[in-house]
Amino acid sequence: MLDANKALDVLNNAELIASSEKVSETLAQIASEITVALSDKHPLVLSVMGGAVVFTGQLLPKLSFPLDFDYIHVTRYGNNTQGGLLDWKVMPRENVAGRVVLVLDDILDEGHTLAAIREKVLSLGASAFYSAVFTDKQIGKQKPIQADFVGMQLPNKYVFGFGMDVQGAWRNLPAIYAMKE
């Protein structure tokens, strides 16, 4: 965890990647793409805690069609900027069986988290799996999964804000920043 002074230092030395205006435009765009594709599917929307909390909270009111909501919790970065093993805190539940599932996450980085979620959700009997990520990092390598809906592409840098943390800090920022190298 970063203490408050260190968190402020990180933000003061960061590079702005996407302003809050850009974030708002992106939200409107991805909401309309999801609406076109899924408005008649009565999906079960699963939010991936904790990073997807801001994306989810701002996206759901823009989806004006019937849906159900639940959350899952899985993490593999913890307080690190490199991913490790997946730590499932809350698994998908049996309520995914027979449902069209839409998983929401803040970032598709190496793709291991979303690929594992897809495997688990399909193994529990979901009838279809869709995913929407607010950001997709251009890592210059093949990923094990692509998202069906992508808000914006990001450079290959450690980013934070709009749900994404740097050592636990700054999920609450309305814009997206990158750590300076």
Q: Which residues bind ligand PRP (CB under 6 A)?
A: 48, 50-51, 75-77, 83, 105-114, 165
In angstroms, give the least distance from the CB of 53 to ligand HPA: 13
Among 46, 50, 77, 147, binds ligand HPA (CB under 6 A): 77
Dihedral (Cα; 137, 142, 146, 151), 10-degree rounding: 20
Q: Is the peptide bond before 125 cis (omega within 30 degrees of 0)?
A: no
Residue 164, interface with ligand HPA (CB under 6 A)? yes
Instruction: Please choose, from the candidates 74, 19, 31, the residue with its C-alpha nearest in 3D space to the C-alpha of residue 52.
Output: 74
Beta carbon nearer to ligand PRP, 40 or 141: 141
Q: Which stretch binds ligand HPA (CB under 6 A): 1-9, 19-27, 120-128, 155-163?
A: 155-163
Q: Give which of ligand PRP, ligand HPA, none residue 136 binds (C-beta under 5 to 8 Å, depending on kind).
A: none
> For the stretch 4-37, what's the b/e string if a residue is b when 16 or more beta carbons lie within 10 angstroms of its beta carbon?
eeebeebeeebeebbeeeebeebbeebbeebeee
Which one-letter DSSP state was computed for residue 170?
Answer: -
In angstroms, give the least distance from the CB of 89 to ligand HPA: 15
Sequence-ordered list of residues with C-beta below 8 angstroms from that of 34, at least 6 positions apart, any chain: 59, 63, 102, 132, 149
The β-bridge relationship of strands 68-75 and 87-90 is antiparallel
Beta carbon nearer to ligand PRP, 39 or 75: 75
Among 38, 100, 102, 159, binds ligand HPA (CB under 6 A): 159
Beta carbon nearer to ligand PRP, 66 or 168: 168
Q: Give which of ligand PRP, ligand HPA, none residue 160 binds (C-beta under 5 to 8 Å, depending on kind).
A: ligand HPA
Q: Is-contact 174 23, C-beta < 8 A?
A: yes
Contacts with ligand HPA, residue ranges (CB under 6 A): 77, 107, 109, 158-160, 164-165
